[in-house]
Amino acid sequence: MKHIIFGGNGFVGRYTARDLLAAGEQVLICDIAKDASLPIYEKAQFLEVDITKPDQVAKVPIGPDDIVYSLAARMLHPIIKRAERYEYFYSVDYHGAVHIIDAMERAGANKLVQFSTDMVYGPLQTPPPVMVDHPRVPIGEYSASKMALEDYCIAKRAQGLKVSIFRPRLIIGPGRVGILGKLFHLIRLNLPVPLIGNGKNRYQMVAVFDCASAAICSAQKGVVNGEFNLGSANPPNVRQLLSEVIRQAGSKSILIPTIAAPAKVVLRLLDRMDLPLLVPEQFEIADHDYVVDIEHTMRSLDWTPKFGDQEMMNDAYRQFLAARKS
């Protein structure tokens, strides 16, 4: 039995591969590129695969007992113009993942770890924490493509597919700054940092290390059928989180609260003009007290998040500075 990680060269994939290899497992990484500098390639096998091309996915040597991790995805950073978003996201996040499931079926494999996103929930309709049965109302092409894939996976369970669907909050950790780069740039330059709303809401995150450990916890149980939220425990509010980053950075930046409603009107207008600063999935929920329930995940998978938002945010800022110097 081996672990096949589609997107294993990526953010969550490389840490999942690292931890599996450390446990003595056999790992095959399938991705469009290989970063040969990563230590995982001292032991992991690599196969160049573009999941948008079903003929390439079909050549992956999937065995009936293998566990497959579908982690290849297109993300919200960099920001894509409105007219291009459907094809950009659906080609990989839906169709590419479907190609993987189809290849598993042909190989007789039925154990899949699938990463989705918490953004399938859309604007919150119930008080936090957000449970896995919260209505799914995606507000953009990225989250809509993920919901479509979830529905495909859930339908396949009736045909014997065992699939853990993970819905992580904003994933943070070494190797990716993403949308946080805009905030960090302002802090580095001692400029005011605008908030959408008053900053008293919580905007939960999750460490990439904790995402990898959740995937492996499910795999160790033979892949647990279900949907699972991933997030940190006891996240601080946005004002506390950013104030501490500013303090540790020695920056003179100040936080500028705004009235959320007019700020969102401006952001929607810019998006429609193809001059997006953020995409709807980001700004529409930026002032929500957005915390997902993780108790269900902890109980079902014997998983516990080990890293807090503040710790990871401070580390991310230090990495941001280091990357600018290199």
- What are 42-70's pLDDT values in tens digits? 999 999 999 999 999 999 999 999 999 99
pTM across the whole model: 0.95
| Chain segment 208-217, per-residue pLDDT in tens | 999 999 999 9
* Burial tier of 215 (Cβ tally within 10 Å: 0-12, 13-18, 19+): buried
Q: Is the CATH number of domain 3-176+204-232+291-307 1.10.3300.10? A: no
pLDDT of 77 > 80? The answer is no
pLDDT of 236 > 90? The answer is yes
| Chain segment 133-149, per-residue pLDDT in tens | 999 999 999 999 999 99
Helix ranges (H only) for the chain are: 11-22, 54-58, 82-89, 95-107, 141-157, 180-188, 208-220, 238-249, 260-272, 280-283, 295-301, 309-325
The residue ranges of every structural domain in the chain are: 3-176+204-232+291-307
Short-list 107, 95, 113, 97, CA closest to 59 = 107
Place of tokens 């992991």: 44
Contact of 74 with 11, CB cutoff 8 Å? no
- Cα(285)–Cα(165) distance, rounded to whole angstroms? 22
pLDDT of 326 > 80? The answer is no
Instruction: Supply φ then ψ for residue 83, to 5 degrees.
Output: -65, -20
pLDDT of 168 > 90? The answer is yes
Short-list 254, 257, 202, 253, CA closest to 231 = 202
Which range among 20-24, 51-55, 244-248, 282-286 shows the weakest confidence by mean pLDDT?
282-286
* Burial tier of 154 (Cβ tally within 10 Å: 0-12, 13-18, 19+): middle
Report how far apart, in Å, the C-alpha atoms of 271 and of each of 16, 25, 239, 284, 299 are: 35, 45, 26, 12, 40
Q: Which residues are within 8 A (CB) of 191 and not within 5 positions of it... i.e. 6 or more apart?
A: 253
- Cα(83)–Cα(6) distance, rounded to whole angstroms? 27
- Token readout for 197 is 């709303």
pLDDT of 2 > 80? The answer is yes
pLDDT of 175 > 80? The answer is no
Query: How many other CB atoms are there within 10 angstroms of residue 100's CB atom?
Result: 25
